[in-house]
Amino acid sequence: MKTTKFIKLTMMVLVLITAAACSKDQEDDDDEEWVRGVDFDGLPRSGAASFTINEDVYLTTGYGTSSTRFKDTWVYDINSATWMEKANFPGEARNNAVAFTLNGKGYVGLGTNGTKMFKDFYVYDPQQDSWSPIADFPGVARYGAVSFVINGVAYVGCGQDVDAQDYNDVYTYSPSSDSWTKVNSTPEKRSFAFSFVINNVAYLGGGTNNNAYVSSFYAFDGQNWSTKEPLSGRTDDYTYDLRRNYPAVFVIGNYGFITGGTNSSTLSSTWRYDPSVDYWIEHDDFTINGASSRQQAVGFSSNGVGYVVGGRSGSTPFDDIWKFTPDLSKHPNE
């Protein structure tokens, strides 16, 4: 009888220990800022173009192994974590195009096929699942440009041409007149930069100019460019360097995030920008939970979660998805 009671007591202790261990594992998982999502259904690629319509994220073009370029288009349903193939991009296959969303439609243009630069642009109608050409970009054909939307106006600029010349010209596009208009250029030429929009203010940083990594960082309100704290320097606590090409970018709440990219080598650091204090805060490294360092990945966000899709390291393209939930208590503003 005593033996039976002892066995039962031992089993209860083991159950409690196991439950506590499982609970601890769950807590550890919850503490991870980066977790893996469902893989992209298409072929691995980097340099893809992406735009968001409502809660659907569209991904098109890009290049894969042996520099193969793509024209296929996919839509990602965030709620069900599923991909569905849509109508192919109608232009020539390419990588490092730009994309933006206006009035419930997606726009994609520019880019390169490795030997030729493009200036053509197309609009995608999700209701019809169809693409149509629009007026060509008026500047020099290029790739590695940036695009963003402020107060319902789309802007496209910067980038590099076939002769490796960098640009700082910026143009707006009007769907009603199917026309482009030149606006104030950025203060500094750059290619392969990043941009994001917070409260209808665009922020532009990174990239290269004359083969040198650019540290300047600017804000743009649709009319004027203003200088912000540079991407490299020193604070009271540490020396920092956020200069890079091709990071994945997304916005969560009132913060902009960049992760990965390249600066002499492929990067995996993740940083948050707080425009209220013009300050960057470092978050968990992109590789903390098993991801590979990468550049030229697609970034987007939904419901407080950032997503990174694809990208490449060296000659290896990726098709995995990683989800980022910022822990502001673990990484507070200093």
Tell me what the mean pLDDT of segment 159-183 comes to.
Answer: 98
Instruction: State how beta strands 208-209 and 255-259 pair.
Output: unpaired
pLDDT at 123: 98
pLDDT at 30: 56
Sign of the alpha-carbon torsion through 266, 268, 273, 277: negative
pLDDT at 139: 98
pLDDT at 67: 83
Give this prediction's pTM: 0.90
Phi/psi zone of residue 192: left (φ > 0), alpha (ψ -120 to 50 degrees), beta?
Answer: left
pLDDT at 282: 95
What distance in Å separates the CA atoms of residue 99 and residue 241, rounded to the nearest whole number?
Answer: 28
Sign of the alpha-carbon torsion through 165, 194, 203, 109: positive
Q: Please choose, from the candidates 332, 324, 319, 323, the residue with its C-alpha nearest in 3D space to the C-alpha of residue 42.
A: 319
Rounded to 5 degrees, φ, ψ at 16 are: -65, -40
Tell me what the mean pLDDT of segment 81-88 comes to.
Answer: 98
Tell me what the mean pLDDT of segment 243-268 comes to.
Answer: 97
17 three-state secondary structure? helix
What distance in Å separates the CA atoms of residue 271 and residue 306, rounded to the nearest whole number?
Answer: 12
pLDDT at 182: 98
Rounded to 5 degrees, φ, ψ at 7 are: -65, -45
Residue 15 has pLDDT above 80, yes or no: no
Tell me what the mean pLDDT of segment 71-78 comes to.
Answer: 97
pLDDT tens by residue, 273-283:
999 999 999 99
Q: Is residue 237 very low, low, confident or very high in pLDDT (cuts 50, 70, 90)?
A: confident
Tell me what the mean pLDDT of segment 185-205 comes to.
Answer: 98
Buried b (16+ CB within 10 A) or exposed e, 231-260: bbeeeeeeebebbbbbbbbbbbeebbbbbb
Residue ranges per structural domain of the chain:
2-324
Q: Is residue 158 very low, low, confident or very high in pLDDT (cuts 50, 70, 90)?
A: very high
By the 8 A CB rule, do 245 and 261 touch?
Answer: yes
pLDDT tens by residue, 92-145:
999 999 999 999 999 999 999 999 999 999 999 999 999 999 999 999 999 999
Tell me what the mean pLDDT of segment 315-327 comes to.
Answer: 97
Q: Please choose, from the candidates 97, 93, 36, 47, the residue with its C-alpha nearest in 3D space to the C-alpha of residue 312.
A: 47
Q: Is residue 9 very low, low, confident or very high in pLDDT (cuts 50, 70, 90)?
A: very low
261 three-state secondary structure? coil
**Helical (H) or strand (E) element with 174:** strand 170-174
Tell me what the mean pLDDT of segment 174-200 comes to.
Answer: 98
The correct CATH number of 2-324 out of 3.30.420.10, 2.30.30.90, 1.10.8.100, 2.120.10.80 is: 2.120.10.80
pLDDT at 21: 43
What distance in Å separates the CA atoms of residue 287 and residue 308, rounded to the nearest whole number?
Answer: 12
Residue 76 has pLDDT above 90, yes or no: yes
10 three-state secondary structure? helix
pLDDT at 10: 38
Residue 202 has pLDDT above 80, yes or no: yes
Q: Return the higher-pLDDT residue of 40 and 3.
A: 40
**Helical (H) or strand (E) element with 2:** helix 2-31
Tell me what the mean pLDDT of segment 245-267 comes to.
Answer: 97
Torsion angle of alpha carbons 152, 156, 157, 163, nearest 10°?
A: 180
What distance in Å separates the CA atoms of residue 176 and residue 156, rounded to the nearest whole number?
Answer: 17
pLDDT at 5: 37
Residue 28 has pLDDT above 80, yes or no: no
pLDDT at 239: 82
β-sheet with 298-302: strand ranges across: 34-36, 321-324, 305-309, 298-302
Residue 216 has pLDDT above 50, yes or no: yes
Q: Is residue 291 very low, low, confident or very high in pLDDT (cuts 50, 70, 90)?
A: very high
